[in-house]
Amino acid sequence: MSDLPIGPPVDTTPRPLPPRGVKLRGTYVELEPLHPRHAGDLFRVAEAGTPRGDASWTYLGYGPFESMSALERFLGDFCAQADHVAWAVRPVATGLASGWLTLMNIEPKNAAIELGNIWLGPPMQRSRAATEAFLLPLKLAADDLGYRRLVWKCNALNAPSIRAALRLGFTPEGVHRAAMTTKGRRRDTAWFSILADEWPLARDAIQAWLAAGNFGPDGTAKRRVAEIRASIFITNTE
């Protein structure tokens, strides 16, 4: 047998595909299978307080949409694609479908899966509902389906997405230069991951941040996710 170094053994059982047609429910948000019927809500939310060309579309390969019918046509194609599972994001506070996200680049044999194709309307950004919307599919993938590599990728110039990845506990893996072309421009892609042994700490910190007791009367969080994560890590290693 060779003396060359090799990786540790892993469970090679292929992971199940994420189920389609399933709602994911949290305290602040519900995720429901994305459908063209969500176009009305989504178009109104996209226009709320900002022009259609607002920054939320800058780094995506699609949008903004000039009309509700254009968005409806896009959703019809987007929802029909077999290579991802897409949900509409519906905050409990408003009841309006206010964004979407997917589990994509699904590799059952490698137990790897990506949370991506994320668009959240301006009113929902930087909210408790947004954080919980990210948590729910990650829990489905890691806790329920047993995926051991959770992936986040974004345009390397997309500072808000990079901040979100780090806040959620993803580890930077580097940048793929000139990885693709988006809207006629070169895109360098930044990669991030959470591995199976890192997931419990990341999950528990997000859940603790979302707890009602972490927020004051004015809705301001008492502790940041990173602070909670560090506290849990220290407690677990003492």
- Note the pLDDT tens digit of each residue in 185-208: 999 999 999 999 999 999 999 999
With 70 as the cut, is the pLDDT of residue 9 above it?
yes
Classify the phi-psi angles of 95: left when phi > 0, otherwise alpha if psi is within -120 to 50, otherwise beta: left
Q: Which two tokens stand for residue 85?
A: 């599972």
pLDDT at res. 53: 47
Please name the amino acid found at residue 60: L
Average predicted confidence (pLDDT) for the chain: 95
Q: Is residue 73 part of a domain?
A: yes
Q: Domain range spanning residue 226?
A: 24-237
Neighbouring-strand partners of residue 119:
100
Q: Is residue 1 part of a domain?
A: no
- Express each pLDDT in 25-47 by its tens digit: 999 999 999 999 999 999 999 88
> 109: Cβ–Cβ under 8 A, 6 or more apart, which residues?
12, 14
- Express each pLDDT in 75-133 by its tens digit: 999 999 999 999 999 999 999 999 999 999 999 999 999 999 999 998 888 899 999 99
- Quick one: pLDDT band at residue 49, thresholds 50, 70, 90? low
Q: Is residue 8 part of a domain?
A: no
Torsion of CA 216, 220, 224, 228, to 10 degrees: 20
The CATH number assigned to the domain holding 88 equals 3.40.630.30
| pTM of the complete model beyond 0.85 | yes
In this structure, are residues 14 and 108 in contact, taking their beta carbons and an 8 Å threshold?
yes
Q: Is residue 218 part of a domain?
A: yes
Q: Is residue 112 part of a domain?
A: yes
Question: What gap in Å lies between CA 208 and CA 233, rounded to an integer?
Answer: 13
Question: What gap in Å lies between CA 76 and CA 64, rounded to an integer?
Answer: 16
Domain count, the chain: 1
Q: Cis peptide before 64, with omega less than 30 degrees from 0?
A: yes
With 60 as the cut, is the pLDDT of residue 51 above it?
no
Q: Is residue 11 part of a domain?
A: no
